[in-house]
Structure 1
Amino acid sequence: MSYIDGFVIAVPTANKQAFIDHALNADGVFADLGALRVVECWGDDVPDGKITDFARAVQATAEETVVLSWVEWPDKATRDAAQKTMMGWMENPETADPRWDNERHPMPFDGARMIFGGFAPLVDLRPGEATG
């Protein structure tokens, strides 16, 4: 079964195009490393909650937009191997994949406020497709 990496970030609204450019680079690397699908979603209807919400979770300001993204991998092993290439950049930049270089491809958002994690799907409903 597939494996999902999920991300929530706050992107300065003025940096929307820079975010798209950054995402196209990173998403291309994910695809090269075996991702089946990458989805980047610009917040459009993200309400304030009474107790918590997406904006509070990433400490978004009024000048930022919440972005929800996910990467679908064929399995956790493929995801783990891809993640090693990202971590490799921090551990040994001389031998790491240069496409992860934040100096060449700076993040147009504060990565310290990113929420991320890996998830094993429990239910995957695809109306119209046969299930087994």
Structure 2
Amino acid sequence: MSVYVDGFVVPVPQDRLADYRKLARKAGKVWKEYGALQYVECVADDVKPGKSTSFPQAVKLKEGEVVVFSYIVYKSRRDRDRINKLVMADPRLEAMIDPKNLPFDGKRMFWGGFKGIVEM
């Protein structure tokens, strides 16, 4: 069975991390309710700026911010597309749609969808 994964990287102000965690818990419940297999949010613990590329460079990390890496696992891209459509229409996550309500700078967030190639 090959899975499909959405991955996200976002800079979060350290003083808004509790707000981010609260939003992530709510979002995770909604994604799982609609069929996501797994929802994971991780805060940087051992992430250093690189010479050419790095997580901090990718999000233009500022003083007082931390990198958050997240991923959501689905059975397939088809499931991902169906689930995301439902999630984005869910009124419980309206705060995620308005950038003014987010506890991070959405303009420096990046994401993408990935097909699984090795699963163990």
Deviation at 1:123, TM superposition (A): 1.0
Tell me, in whole angstroms, the C-alpha distance in 2 between the residues paired with 1:42 and 1:65. Answer: 7
TM-score, reference length from structure 2:
0.89
User: Does residue 90 of structure 2 align to residue 97 of structure 1?
Assistant: yes
Secondary structure of 2:95 counterpart: coil
Deviation at 1:54, TM superposition (A): 0.4
Structure 2: gaps (5+ residues)? none
Tell me, in whole angstroms, the C-alpha distance in 1 between the residues paired with 2:21 and 2:90. Answer: 21
What's the Cα RMSD here? 1.8
Percent identity, please.
40
Matches within 5 A, 1:121-132: 121-125=116-120
Alignment match, 2:108: 113
Secondary structure of 1:56 counterpart: helix
User: Does residue 44 of structure 2 align to residue 43 of structure 1?
Assistant: yes
Secondary structure of 1:40 counterpart: strand
Give the count of matched residue pairs: 117
Secondary structure of 1:71 counterpart: strand
Alignment match, 1:26: 27
Deviation at 1:75, TM superposition (A): 1.4
Deviation at 1:76, TM superposition (A): 1.2
Whichever structure has more helix as a proportion of its residues is 2
Secondary structure of 1:60 counterpart: coil
TM-score, reference length from structure 1:
0.82
Tell me, in whole angstroms, the C-alpha distance in 1 between the residues paired with 2:4 and 2:107. Answer: 24
Deviation at 1:85, TM superposition (A): 3.0
